[in-house]
Structure formats: C-alpha cells, structure tokens
Amino acid sequence: MNIQFIIDYLSALSMNNNREWYHANKDDYKKANAEFEKLLQALMLEIGTFDSSILGNNPKDLTFKIVRDTRFSHDKSPYNPAFRAHISSKGKLPVPVGYYLMIKPGDQSFLGGGLFADMFKDATTMIRDYIVRNGEEWEAMIHEPEFEKYFTVQGTALKKVPAGYEKEHPQAEYLKFKSWYLEFPLKDEELKSAETFPVKAAEIFRIMKPFNDYLNRALTGFQMPAR
C-alpha cells in the first residue's frame, strides 16, 4: 500500500481541479483509489481486533465519490480532492455510526466518529432522549481521561435547549446539539508510513469506540428515511 501516492495524486488534483486534467489522469485516479482501498483493508483488520462487527465489509463499498454536487454551491470546482470512507457494521451509511477517515493533503486529514449528519430529526431526538435518561454515563464517558486527551464532542447546535427538554438539565449543553461527533486531526507527515499509520489510526478509533457504542445504543431501531 502506497499512501504517499494517494497524497501526491490528491495534491495534484487540488491544483488542477478541472475535468480535463481529471480525465487525462484517470489512470492515476484509479491507482490512488486502489491504494486507498488497500489502506481501508489494513485499517479494518486493525479495528477488527476490538470491533469485529466491521469485518464483513468490502472496502469498495465504504468510500465516497470525489465528484462534487455543485448545484447549490458558490464553489463550482468539480472534484473534492479527498478520499473519504465510513466503516461501520452496515458499511458507509451514517447510522449505525462508525469510524470515519478522510485523507486530504495540506494537513486537512482527520479520523472521525459519531453522528455527523444533522438532517435526520428522528436520530437527533433519539440521541437527545437517551442523553436525558443516561446523563451520568454520558458524563463519565466524555470525561474519561484517555478520551479527554484526544477528543472534544463537536456538532451542529441550537442556541437554546429545544422545546420539550429541561433548560436546567445537567447535560443541557449537549441537548442543544443536532449532531454529535469527534475529530482527530492528522498531519500529512503522520500518513506517510503504510506500516504504522493503520495501527495508530486504529488505536485512536479504539479510544473513540465507547462514544460510538453510546450513540448506537441511543439509535437502536432507527430506520434510514426512504429515498
């Protein structure tokens, strides 16, 4: 697996973000994408040592397209110069939540976990209600020393506690959230070793796992909206 080739390709795409260059270098895209899938396979084997639920996935099914939907964007560049994947027991669907990897040159790569999508109102309600009922477990989890060393809970949030929830609830700040996620930033230098990166990334995901487990318990029974 050649992570450097992935970074080099994405760097070149970032500087030549147009259809002509992309199609002229389609073979390089295919090679970089194949290397990314090899990385995902290695990463899944490491994650599988503490979360076997993800081992049935095919790396091809976990990745997201680099083609951008520019219909409602001021930025009309056709490609997102990043390779992205979400690894969970049900593949790349946002629920159940799992382990997210984005490789984007310029020190913009990161490892993520939790619920990034804030458009699923049922999911938001289920998590809020679960936090209301299991606030002490939430506090113990997010203030566990190893967790605090690496993560701060992030997410889109309302300015006020939503209607139907106590303003004085001990976890009121988190009830304002519509999504709850974690990000661990990565510098380009940290990605270069194909031997050590999957091991390091899996260790970060291991520390993240109790957070994912908590949200997935909250989301038990959630159904993705029909398209």
> pLDDT, tens digit, for every residue of 139-188?
999 999 999 999 999 999 999 999 999 999 999 999 999 999 999 999 99
Percent of the chain past pLDDT 90, that is, above it, reads 89
Please tell me the pTM assigned to this model.
Answer: 0.93
Q: What is the per-residue pLDDT for 192?
A: 83
The helix (run of H) or strand (run of E) holding residue 83 is: strand 83-87
CA distance 186 to 180: 20
pLDDT band at residue 4, thresholds of 50, 70 and 90? very high
Alpha helical stretches, state H, the chain: 3-15, 19-24, 26-47, 121-133, 135-142, 145-150, 172-175, 188-191, 197-218
Is 57's pLDDT higher than 90?
A: yes
Going 52 to 58 to 59 to 61, the CA torsion angle's sign is negative
Average pLDDT, the chain: 95
pLDDT score, position 201? 97
pLDDT band at 72 (very low <50, low <70, confident <90, very high): confident
Tell me which long-range contacts 153-158 makes (C-beta under 8 A, separation of at least 24).
153/114, 153/177, 153/180, 153/181, 153/182, 153/211, 154/180, 154/181, 154/182, 154/183, 155/114, 155/115, 155/118, 155/179, 155/180, 155/181, 156/118
pLDDT over 80 at 70, yes or no? no
Bridge partners for 183 per DSSP = 112
Quote the pLDDT of residue 1: 86
Least confident of 23-27, 73-77, 88-92: 73-77
pLDDT tens-place string over residues 85-138: 999 999 999 999 999 999 999 999 999 999 998 899 999 999 999 999 999 999
**Sole residue written with tokens 């084997």:** 45
Q: Give the pLDDT mean for 74-84.
A: 91
| Confidence (pLDDT) at 37 | 97
- What whole-number percentage of the chain has pLDDT above 70? 100
Per DSSP, the three-state class of 69 is coil
Partnered with residue 157 across adjacent β-strands are 177
Task: Considering only residues 156 and 195, tell me which one the structure prediction assigns the higher pLDDT.
Answer: 156
